[in-house]
Chains A and B, each alone.
Chain A
Amino acid sequence: MRRFLNYHRDLIALTAVLLVVLLVMLLLNPERFLTPNNLRSMAFQLPEIGILTLAMMIAMLHGGINLAVVGTANLTAIIAALTIHAMAPKMGSEWLAVALGLGAGFAASLLVGLLSGILVGFVGVSSILTTLGTMTLVNGACIVITGGSTISRLPQSVLFIGNGAFFGIPVPLIVFLLCGAGLSLVLSRTVFGFHLYMLGTNSEATRYAGINNARTLLGVYLLSSFFASIAGIIMMARFNSAKADYGQSYLLVTVLAAVLGGTSASGGYGKVIGVMFAVVMLQMLASGLNLLGVDPFFAIAMWGAILLLVMTLSHFVRRRA
């Protein structure tokens, strides 16, 4: 029991904070917080930032950061939307055009991941600098491709990804849960995942242990880009449009959520379940405050305060332990 408690200390602390937030929001909005309507709107809003956070977390596990996640998501959405628009009249079948569009979007984002991965893994550029560069490049490419305009009016079959529901469960939420489960499996059950955690803990040690660091890092950025593009597709489907500057404010929030979820900024430690809890908590905070009619920027200030608070608490807990 005691070992269990010790092992899952972070998760327990996070659950406690989550419950406190839930309780406070329930007390402040007794009638409106736990209504189907509010739960539904939360379930639709949460996945895009949740999946972006997973993309960020993968890069943080090796001790780096991927500043290009939001740009990659937008690039995917823009390429996919343009391909769908171009192909739909020619193909005759809407489904084929959509499949081609999504394929093109994913391919574009994997190219970005490939570039970042090669620079970080094989050339040895620090990850913050590499992704600062790819972020600027990708954002620029998005603006050049679209000319700064919005691409809208997507076919119905795409919109289902963002706004549909299976048995009352929103599709984006299902995608988010699948992404979480998939990433969790990759991290805990594959050689790649094991190498990644070890690399994040001590990259010198993995190198001397004969692990190919460069290849692991390439995998990290490919995987991170892949998740970013899933988030991009969901964003495109939910807004029924794609644009170069969607979600720019998400970038730092994903770092915040990942760290709040127990991911170590210096690498080597972090669990998917913790990150998912943190995302749910941030969303509850935002929605609850929104229901109260509080300025949305108050939620931003609260996120910052909670991040600092959690880091401070865990610092003192660690020091006593």
Chain B
Amino acid sequence: MRKLLRRNEFFLALLIIALGIGFTLANPKFATIGNLLDLIKSFSFFGILSVGVLVVLLSGGIDISFTAIAQVAEYASVALILQFGGNLWTAFLVACCIGIVLGAVNGLLIHFIRIPPIITTIGTLNLYYGALYVLSAGQIIYQVPDFYRTLSGATLPGNFPVLGLFWICAVILTACILKYSVLGRSIYALGGSEVAAIRVGFNILKTRLFVYSFMGFVAGFAAVVHTALVQSVIPNSIVGRELDVIAAVVLGGANIMGGSGSLLGTCLGVALLAMLGNGLTMIGMSSYWNNVMIGLVILVGVTMSAIQRNLQVRRRVANLTAQ
């Protein structure tokens, strides 16, 4: 089983390398450090969100509302800072707190009312997004505080963008939680089998609340990165991309039924989508083809893993009958 997982990511990495070589042969500018660093920077927002989505999928749930949460956190944090002043840390603090609260609402609804997660979060997506639009009157904030611009331009030695560093931080934080804490193991357990997780003695409420609050936290974190990237706050700039992020995570091998998936795979999934878009443009293919390619990659990916699973089941049945 473990080997199989490793193979999934192995294939993905191979595909990425093959694509990279192909794009570079067609346009040598593709594999330059500058282009790759640009890609990392512009996909840092997407990448951070994907980490949160992975955790939700691992727990056997799904969250559609995270884009609305990010949208609310982004708008509220920038508006509050413009009103009362503040710095980058206040921005993170406010955005993440808003994210945690809205995420916790999802978690509580899913746990206590037993509404399927997809329905709950479609409901809260509409609720959060609609409420934001009504309260903000749909007004665009063109002038964001200066520290966002500084953040966007900031680089580490070697020109590595700080926004990319945030993505790496999110991945490391999640890795520590998933690998080295009881909470992390309980997320896998809940995703594998809820009944089994209860029997073993995990506190399902705590786990679920954590999972959805963590998604909210990540959405808030990503919201600040998004503000730095686009340098303005448009109330409908994030909502509508939720399925793209989920697609990236699923491409990375996460099982949508919960219980399995890895951070490495998720990062590779995001990298694949990032490279496809950027590379196709660089080899002179119209960006109109982006979605067609991504759709094909998703379909081929999910079909291959389904066939693999079917073969495995068949083999197991054959073994049993042989005995």
Residues of A within 8 A of B (CB): 65, 67, 115, 119, 123-126, 128-130, 132-141, 143-144, 147-148, 248-249, 252-253, 255-256, 259, 265-266, 295, 297-305, 307-308, 311-312, 315
Contact = CB atoms under 8 A, between A and B. Distances in A.
A308 B109 contact: yes
A312 B113 CA distance: 6
Given A137-B292, A137-B296, A308-B124, A302 B130 contact: yes
Contacts of B294: 136, 140
B134 interface: yes
How many residues of B sit at the interface, in one of the four size bands? Answer: 35 or more
Nearest to A258: B119
Contacts of A307: 119, 122-123, 126
Contacts of B129: 297, 300-301
A115 B306 CA distance: 15
Contact of B295 (A119, A128, A136): A136
Given A133-B298, A265-B119, A305 B127 contact: yes
B131 interface: yes
B289 to A, nearest CB: 6
A299 B299 contact: no
Given A123-B310, A124-B310, A305-B123, 19 more contacts: A115-B299, A119-B299, A119-B302, A119-B306, A128-B62, A132-B298, A133-B295, A133-B296, A136-B295, A140-B294, A141-B291, A248-B240, A249-B240, A255-B122, A295-B137, A302-B130, A304-B128, A307-B126, A315-B113
Interface of B: 62, 64, 109, 113-116, 118-120, 122-131, 133-134, 137-138, 240, 243, 246-247, 250, 256-257, 286, 288-296, 298-299, 302-303, 306-307, 309-310
A125 B302 contact: yes
B278 to A, nearest CB: 16
Contacts of B62: 128
Which of A136, A256, A299, A301 counts the most B-chain CB atoms under 10 A from its CB? A136
27 contacts: A65-B118, A119-B306, A126-B302, A135-B243, A139-B291, A140-B288, A140-B295, A144-B288, A144-B289, A147-B288, A252-B122, A255-B119, A265-B118, A295-B133, A295-B138, A297-B130, A298-B130, A298-B134, A300-B126, A301-B127, A304-B128, A308-B120, A308-B124, A311-B120, A311-B123, A312-B109, A315-B115
A256 B113 CA distance: 17
A302 to B, nearest CB: 7
A124 B307 CA distance: 8
B130 A135 contact: no
Contacts of B113: 308, 311-312, 315
Nearest to B295: A137
Nearest to B294: A136
Nearest to B296: A137
A137 B302 CA distance: 14
Contacts of A140: 288-295
Nearest to B109: A308
Nearest to B250: A129
A246 to B, nearest CB: 14
B123 A256 contact: yes
Nearest to A251: B243
Nearest to B136: A297
A140 B136 CA distance: 32
Nearest to A144: B288
A320 B242 CA distance: 36
B291 A301 contact: no
A129 B302 contact: yes
Given A132-B250, A252-B122, A308 B127 contact: yes
Contacts of B133: 295, 297, 300-301
Contacts of A298: 130, 134
Nearest to B115: A311
A65 B243 CA distance: 13
Nearest to B246: A132
A134 B295 contact: yes
B306 A123 contact: yes
A137 B243 contact: no
Given A303-B126, A304-B125, A137 B291 contact: yes
A-B pairs with lowest CB-CB distance, top 7: A301-B130, A140-B291, A137-B295, A304-B126, A304-B127, A297-B133, A140-B292
A129 B130 contact: no
Contact of B291 (A129, A143, A295, A312): A143
A304 B130 contact: yes
A259 B119 contact: yes
B124 A126 contact: no
Contacts of B124: 304, 308
A300 B130 contact: yes
Residue from A124, A147, A266 with most neighbouring chain B CB atoms (10 Å): A124
A240 to B, nearest CB: 24
A132 to B, nearest CB: 6
Given A256-B126, A297-B134, A312-B113, A126 B256 contact: yes
Contacts of B288: 140, 143-144, 147-148
Contact of B298 (A136, A144, A312): A136
A312 B114 CA distance: 9
Contact of A135 (B120, B125, B295, B310): B295
Contacts of A295: 133-134, 137-138
Given A123-B306, A308-B120, A128 B256 contact: yes
B131 A301 contact: yes
B293 A256 contact: no
Given A123-B303, A125-B302, A297-B133, A144 B292 contact: yes
Nearest to B244: A136
